[in-house]
Structure formats: structure tokens, C-alpha cells
Amino acid sequence: MSVSPYKKSLSEKIFIRFIYLFFIVYGLVALFPFLNVIAKSLSSEGAVIAGLVTIYPIGFQTGTYQYVLSNPLFVNSFKVTIFITAVGTFLSLLMTVLAAYPLSKPDLVGRKPILLVYIFTMLFSGGLIPSYILMRELGLVNNIWVLILPGMISVFNMLIVKNFFEGLPEGLEESAKIDGASNITVLFRIALPLSKPVLATIGLFYAVALWNSYFGAMVYITDPSLKPLQLYLKELIASTKDTMLVAGEVDLSRDLNTTADSVQAAAIITATVPILIVYPFLQKYFVKGAFVGSVKG
């Protein structure tokens, strides 16, 4: 007698086939915009103008990348972004850990109200205009720190770290404290080394958010030398968008804007490469589901 009498019915077999097909199509749709823009950035002007480029370069060239990498505005905005990402991630991690550690102690006096003070900011905010007026008063308009300071603590990330700290074995900290260690020593010598996975996850999330942000810069920065990469790209895309969309048929501007088209493609790819480099690390951590289900306070 067969132990497993269950056999897949025809409709189930078709269903499974359909699922594989579905994900192949989905994967292609997810990748196609990247492949197309990579191919365009490496193709000759003629092929791009004629709209012939699909997912492989036609008339291979790398002049667009040389142009992008030698453009002082692009290079400067790249530097600005590297600065805010590096400094911002470090400060965010430090602030987040300092906030999360005491709040992970169940017998902390005032723990509940303080948590509420944090969580309330997730539910309600002053909005754009009052923030803008505040930044003006603080002298943060056209100041690079405006891209770092207002976002230092993500409450969501703080709660994840807090939950992680709560799960650490108590005994280790207790014994250290009996030996006379202060709370700060315990945090930096014992708790943090045990928290590397969650710190890596949160750090990467802060870094990606800082790398990708443009809105704050658009509101608070007008000085071209302080513009981060995403804002520079936004303006580049906006300047070519109008000509590409409206005047695509006009012969005169055609030559010009299609060149811009390839250059823009190269700029987009160059700005995305760092994300692609950290992506495997990101994936390694988020697959562990470090943050799933940790919304509860």
C-alpha cells in the first residue's frame, strides 16, 4: 500500500506551471527597465535616436560614462551623498542604539510614557511647512547637516533594535554589572557585540535611505555645491524630460536631447551601482526576517 495516496490533479499541475510562468514574466518586468537603461547608456547616438535599443547595446561606446564621471557637478554631488551616507549612518546608529537600550529594560522608570512619546511621532507630524520654518530658524537651510540631523532616528528602526536588545540573555549583563561595570560599558562591551546582525541590518537600511533621499535636499538646499546625487539626478532628468516628452519629434532639438538621453542613462546607472553592491548584504540580513513582526512596541 502506498503511504502517500495523494496525487496531483491535472488542474494542480497546470497551476504549478502557471506559477513558474508568472514568476518568469514578473522577473523580466522587474529587470527590463534596468537592462534597457544599461543598454542605452552603452549604445551609439544613432541607435538611441532611432529607438532601436532593447536589452543589449547597439554601436557600443563608453563615452557617456566618461562624460558623466568627468562632470564636476556629478562628481561633487556624488561626494556630498557619500558624506551624508557615511556620517548619517554612523550618527543614526549611535542615536538609535542609545535610545533603544534603556527602553529595552522592562523596569526602567517612565518606560511606557517615553515609548509613547516616540510612537506618537509615527502617527502624527507637524508636516512640511512648520519643519521648513524651523530649519530656517535653526540656520539649517543650505547647510549640509539638514540632510542628516532631522532623520537621525527612525522610530521604526529604534523599535526593532529595542526588541532585539530585549531578547539578549540577561545573565551576561548581570554578571558584568556585579563586577562593577556601568550601563554604558555593558552596552558597548557586551550588548553591541552580540547585536551585530541587527546593527548591520539597521545600518544598511539607514544607508540606503540616506543614499536615496532627495526630498529634504529639494526643500532645504539651493546651493549647487551642496546638492546630493539624487537631487542632481532629479534636476538632470527634469531638464531632459520636457524636451524628450514634448519635443521628441522636433528635428532641431532631437540630436541634442537624445545625447542627453544616453548621458542621463549613464548617470542613472552610476548612481545605482553602490546600491547594487550592498544589495547582496542587505538580502543576507533581511531574509532572516530580523524586522518582521517587530512593529509591536
Using the minimum distance from each CB to other proteins, give the nearer residue, 75 or 122: 122
As measured in angstroms, the least distance from the Cβ of 66 to other proteins is: 20
Q: Based on the shown chain and the rule CB under 8 A, indicate whether residue 223 belongs to the binding site for other proteins.
A: no
As measured in angstroms, the least distance from the Cβ of 23 to other proteins is: 5
Q: Using CB under 8 A, which of the segments 60-68, 71-79, 166-174, 282-290 binds other proteins?
A: 282-290
Residue from 80, 233, 263, 290 in contact with other proteins (CB under 8 A):
233
Q: Based on the shown chain and the rule CB under 8 A, indicate whether residue 199 belongs to the binding site for other proteins.
A: no
Q: What is the Cα gyration radius of the chain?
A: 25
Q: Which of positions 115-144 make contact with other proteins (CB under 8 A)?
A: 117-119, 121, 123-134, 136, 138
As measured in angstroms, the least distance from the Cβ of 70 to other proteins is: 20
As measured in angstroms, the least distance from the Cβ of 225 to other proteins is: 19
As measured in angstroms, the least distance from the Cβ of 63 to other proteins is: 18
Rounded CA-CA distance 151/88 in Å is 9
CA dihedral 210, 213, 216, 221 (to 10 degrees): 90
Using the minimum distance from each CB to other proteins, give the nearer residue, 58 or 194: 58
> CA 172 → CA 105, 177, 181, 189, 266, distances in Å?
14, 9, 12, 11, 52
Q: Which of positions 50-109 make contact with other proteins (CB under 8 A)?
A: 51-54, 95, 98-99, 101-103, 105, 107-109
Q: Determine how many CB atoms are found less than 10 A away from the CB of residue 10.
A: 7
DSSP 61-112: --HHHHHHHT-HHHHHHHHHHHHHHHHHHHHHHHHHHHHHHHHT-TT-TTHH
Which x/- pattern over 141-170 shows residues binding other proteins (rule: CB under 8 A)? --------xx-xx----x------------
Q: Based on the shown chain and the rule CB under 8 A, indicate whether residue 272 belongs to the binding site for other proteins.
A: yes
3-class secondary structure, 297:
coil
Q: Using CB under 8 A, which of the segments 67-75, 162-170, 193-201, 240-248 binds other proteins?
A: 240-248
3-class secondary structure, 45:
helix
Q: Are 92 and 205 in contact (CB under 8 A)?
A: no
Closest residue by Cα to residue 93 from 248, 204, 18: 204
